[in-house]
Chain A
Amino acid sequence: MLDYVIGKYNFWIYAVLMMIGLYAMMGKKNLVKKLIGMNIFQSAIILFYISTGVKTGGATVPILMGHAQEHGHQAIDVAGYLNPLPHVLMLTAIVVSIATTGVALAIIILIYRRYNTLEENEILKIRKDTGV
Chain B
Amino acid sequence: MKVIALIAAIMTGALLIYGIEEMPKWGDPNSPASSHVSPLYIQEAIEKTATPNMVTAVLADYRGYDTLGETTVIFTAGIACVLMLRKKRKGGGD
Contacts and interface: CB of A to CB of B under 8 A. Distances in A.
Contact of B25 (A7, A53, A59, A114): A7
Contacts of A96: 70, 73-74
A99 B27 CA distance: 31
A15 B84 contact: no
Contacts of B94: 114
B26 A10 contact: yes
Contacts of B81: 102-103, 106
Contacts of B73: 96, 99
A7 B26 contact: yes
B55 A88 contact: yes
A102 B75 CA distance: 12
A23 B6 contact: yes
Q: How large is the interface on A (under 10, 10 to 19, 20 to 34, 35 or more residues)?
A: 35 or more
Contact of B39 (A64, A78, A95, A106): A78
Interface in A4-28: 4, 7-8, 10-12, 14-16, 18-20, 22-23, 26-27
Interface in B37-84: 37-39, 41-43, 45-47, 52-55, 58-59, 63, 66-67, 70, 73-74, 77-78, 80-81, 84
B41 A92 contact: no
B74 A78 contact: no
Interface in A78-92: 78-79, 81, 83-88, 91-92
Interface in B8-25: 8-10, 12-13, 16-17, 20-21, 23, 25
B9 A22 contact: yes
Contacts of B41: 84-85
A116 interface: no
Given A19-B9, A84-B55, A88-B63, 12 more contacts: A8-B25, A10-B26, A23-B6, A27-B5, A53-B34, A64-B53, A76-B46, A78-B39, A84-B54, A95-B74, A103-B84, A110-B85
What are the 6 closest A-B residue pairs judged by CB atoms, nearest first? A27-B5, A56-B27, A26-B5, A99-B77, A19-B13, A23-B9
